[in-house]
Structure 1
């Protein structure tokens, strides 16, 4: 695959859906900032990529302000309801939080609040204009993409089980197909109400009332007070240096620090001297991932509820210790089994002509989230809270008002104090690994952003519904490497070439002269547009 890599000096947008990319371009060309375009793109993705994201989910935004040279992050993840605790499930005889249904939706959606705060900080267009394209596509419909159609087929049972979702996706009892028009009138009404009322329409107004009324009727656990109390927060990003670059990630409760740990480990190796298609490369990647995930799984949760020793975890000396561990055990793979987690996410990036940049990511957690939509809302609720543990000894144990371990992690890389690359990917366990593939492709192997996104990928770990902790490799000329890895003791699976299992990533690179290049993942429905 050799997609065209657009270039431009005035702006660049890269998203996982071509309609959202076109909306972002139009906002910037009409005089909007990167923040304006990010909000419009985020809202549009909730309409045209409803299996991955929507107003009922969470979002993380990372903003670079060209005038001040400052980076800020917005944590738009929701907290568990005030009355939600392990005893609620124990009293009902449940051994774990349900993965689907109204009782899996136990964290307040943070998406709309995040839009509002990003717009207030960096926007300059009227709020209602940013939601207008999304509202129009919800009203008038759009062609179902190949990726949405794929996930509709996989999730047909869940879509059928919820009356509001069945009405949308299975009219006359038949599942819609790729190319069919999907119209979402209830979602359009919700977006129109948010245009008029702003964030308060979702957290204190009529939209919230309909959501909570539906949840109460169906046995849900979130209350009006939970919605009214929700506030995301502006946070300082965390960063490490990597071969002369400054790599920024969102702090916990995001797993972003795990990618920084991986880069710290790999900085000890002369990576460019290791062939990218060799068993040695994939062994080093897999073992680095395992060492990092061991610490991630031990510590990651809401930092308001537990201490996370980031200073130690992100130190170069600790990275050297991990690298030496890998070397001492070579070629034997280390055991590690992370908890299974969802992988359905949408990442996008925007840079405007003034140099303002936004790297952002959003999700419902599983495909179609909780697979629950309160009637007359069009709001598909997330099931992010289902990843909480009911084990009191677990770091990510459920508690009222707590934010869960979060997979979402947009990245921004600086050179000389200015954005050089914006990178992110869909995929729970895969997000830090796909970022590692792309970032090392850019920095260590001298790839363009399109080449870096197109490199063969690996994924170590599990997604929900799978018991295997195998190392999965895209089957693109890697049979010999796979055979060697198996000989070393790895459990290797060769998956399809360009397999969506390995994530859908987007990226933008800005050179020292201001030339922007962008790319959308050939594994998805995305588009990069530059001008």
Structure 2
């Protein structure tokens, strides 16, 4: 991809070794780390960091960019969840704007307002500078990446049933292929309004009325009052102690935080996964089933006092989960998502995950605006999409060590544990932990293990009656790990490792 969108958005500036935050200037030396499931978004984040933006500035730019470059999973009609760690304040904040449904399945657009709230937590570049790259990618076009081209191919049958949707991504009667140019004038116009009027643009006046009216014409029950009334959640993250550090996870209505926290507690507090040897897989699959079965009884986030989900990941809650006798069938839901991680030289970091709740959301489009309406969360998710992001930092030193975003629906919490635990324990370096063969259960209930998974582990699983098959686990990790913290030291990023899962087609870069 060329840097057209970025060149138009970020004015040329002289190099500066230590530019003041908020001043657009090219940074000499280490500027940050960035990894995303879609490579064009990584480039946007890289350029914002290189021009003296913070991790939050880069995250906002990347979120809007992914709505343009990966519209199969991310869109202005959808939502997400982000965690932001402030190295100076030594704490993390959660911004939740998950695409939850109303009583009739309608979902209010949440991405723009969510990213605006995120920007308010520590963005220093002007709003228009971080929105413009995505606007220009849409207006002037960009070569589609392999990540999006693969999604188009996988969704051929869906798109064949939705000619109005397919037309957005077609040329000469066929779907676009990798490297071919995609132009989105309707999305560009919406992003132009967001750039000029802020994240509230889609949620006010004639735009909200138009989007609601078009939704109703498409058979979606969604009122303009619901669009106007959508407010992202902002506040403390879920927390768990990890040695001297703190693991931060997104609260409800992002279900991935609760599922990840429950797995962590059951496998490290109630049971000893580290010492289980060949039976690690047995413990893992049992904990996963127990967590998913418990989801059927989750309360609504609005009915919970305090941080939504914190008590659900307590050690006591984990003991209760493990002590009961599982009944019923655990449902594994394939909610498509995508995300990224980004860290800056100031010691800040952001991890985000986004979704439309299905490939291309509901498949229904606001004509003219090109906005794809999100699908309602699948039944069985407690109206809490499984969005998995995580940060690990120290609240005494302000050092941020780990940032991770995992795509993969209900596979994501388990993948997070299988990668994060050995990394934090020092058993494996991050790139090796990401490469480790994983296990997971597909939506059809089939347990799969990637090639190379421990033969002793497979035998232990078979002894319990499981019938694991050798297949890939469709989950993707974007992560970085800095054992001494990410903060700049003499213009370098020290021993930081940054990884984009080789199972996908994302991109990871060290910006320096």
Give the TM-score of the pair, scaled to structure 1: 0.82
Give the CA deviation at 1:289. 1.0
CA contact (8 A) 1:164 1:373 kept: yes
The equivalent position to 1:455 in structure 2, one of 436, 439, 448, is 436
| Deviating more after overlay: 183-192 vs 505-514 | 505-514
CA contact (8 A) 1:207 1:377 kept: no
Counterpart position of 2:53: 32
Q: Are positions 1:505 and 2:477 aligned together? A: yes
Residues 439-468 of structure 1, C-alpha deviations (whole Å, 9 max, x = no match): 112123522222222111111252xxxxx3
Give the CA deviation at 1:191. 1.1
| Change in CA separation of 1:145 and 1:309 when aligned onto 2, cut-off 3 Å | closer
| Change in CA separation of 1:387 and 1:308 when aligned onto 2, cut-off 3 Å | farther
Residues 177-207 of structure 1, C-alpha deviations (whole Å, 9 max, x = no match): 2222222222112211211121222111454
- 2:308 and 2:72 map into 1 onto residues whose CA distance is 35
| Change in CA separation of 1:122 and 1:184 when aligned onto 2, cut-off 3 Å | same
Counterpart position of 2:302: 303
- 1:310 and 1:201 map into 2 onto residues whose CA distance is 31
| Deviating more after overlay: 19-28 vs 239-248 | 239-248
- 1:70 and 1:480 map into 2 onto residues whose CA distance is 41
Counterpart position of 2:268: 267
Give the CA deviation at 1:368. 1.0
Secondary structure of 1:35's aligned partner:
helix
| Deviating more after overlay: 152-161 vs 222-231 | 152-161
Secondary structure of 1:303's aligned partner:
helix
Secondary structure of 1:219's aligned partner:
coil
- 2:355 and 2:44 map into 1 onto residues whose CA distance is 19
Give the CA deviation at 1:477. 4.7
Structure 2: 5+ residue runs without aligned partners? 1-28, 488-493
Give the TM-score of the pair, scaled to structure 2: 0.85
Counterpart position of 1:250: 250
| Change in CA separation of 1:433 and 1:336 when aligned onto 2, cut-off 3 Å | farther
CA contact (8 A) 1:36 1:123 kept: yes
- 2:146 and 2:264 map into 1 onto residues whose CA distance is 34
The equivalent position to 1:518 in structure 2, one of 498, 502, 512, is 498
Aligned residues: 471
CA contact (8 A) 2:248 2:392 kept: yes
- 1:491 and 1:245 map into 2 onto residues whose CA distance is 38
| Deviating more after overlay: 124-133 vs 235-244 | 235-244
| Change in CA separation of 1:207 and 1:494 when aligned onto 2, cut-off 3 Å | farther
- 1:226 and 1:321 map into 2 onto residues whose CA distance is 37
Secondary structure of 2:175's aligned partner:
coil
CA contact (8 A) 2:476 2:503 kept: yes
Residues 501-522 of structure 1, C-alpha deviations (whole Å, 9 max, x = no match): 1x11111112226433211111
CA contact (8 A) 2:357 2:377 kept: no
Aligned CA-pair RMSD? 2.6
Counterpart position of 2:24: none
Q: Are positions 1:529 and 2:509 aligned together? A: yes
Secondary structure of 1:410's aligned partner:
strand
CA contact (8 A) 1:425 1:435 kept: yes
| Deviating more after overlay: 110-119 vs 447-456 | 447-456
Counterpart position of 2:424: 443
CA contact (8 A) 1:253 1:300 kept: no
Q: Are positions 1:380 and 2:354 aligned together? A: no
| Change in CA separation of 1:483 and 1:150 when aligned onto 2, cut-off 3 Å | farther
| Change in CA separation of 1:454 and 1:336 when aligned onto 2, cut-off 3 Å | farther
- 1:458 and 1:241 map into 2 onto residues whose CA distance is 25
Secondary structure of 1:60's aligned partner:
strand
- 1:312 and 1:33 map into 2 onto residues whose CA distance is 32
- 1:369 and 1:216 map into 2 onto residues whose CA distance is 16
Give the CA deviation at 1:349. 1.1
Counterpart position of 1:49: 70
Counterpart position of 1:422: 403
Aligned 1:261-410 pairs, distance under 5 A:
261-268=262-269, 269-275=271-277, 278=278, 280-304=279-303, 313-320=312-319, 337-383=329-375, 385-388=376-379, 396=382, 404-410=383-389
The equivalent position to 2:470 in structure 1, one of 491, 494, 511, is 494
Give the CA deviation at 1:336. 5.4
Q: Are positions 1:472 and 2:448 aligned together? A: yes
| Change in CA separation of 1:125 and 1:416 when aligned onto 2, cut-off 3 Å | closer
CA contact (8 A) 1:369 1:380 kept: yes
CA contact (8 A) 2:361 2:374 kept: yes
Counterpart position of 1:177: 177
| Deviating more after overlay: 219-228 vs 475-484 | 475-484
CA contact (8 A) 2:239 2:247 kept: yes
- 1:272 and 1:223 map into 2 onto residues whose CA distance is 50
- 1:509 and 1:211 map into 2 onto residues whose CA distance is 41
Secondary structure of 1:135's aligned partner:
helix
Q: Are positions 1:61 and 2:82 aligned together? A: yes
- Which one scores higher on RCO, CA 8 angstroms, separation ≥ 6? 1
- 2:59 and 2:303 map into 1 onto residues whose CA distance is 28
CA contact (8 A) 1:187 1:378 kept: yes
- 1:460 and 1:445 map into 2 onto residues whose CA distance is 26
CA contact (8 A) 2:393 2:402 kept: yes
CA contact (8 A) 2:294 2:321 kept: no
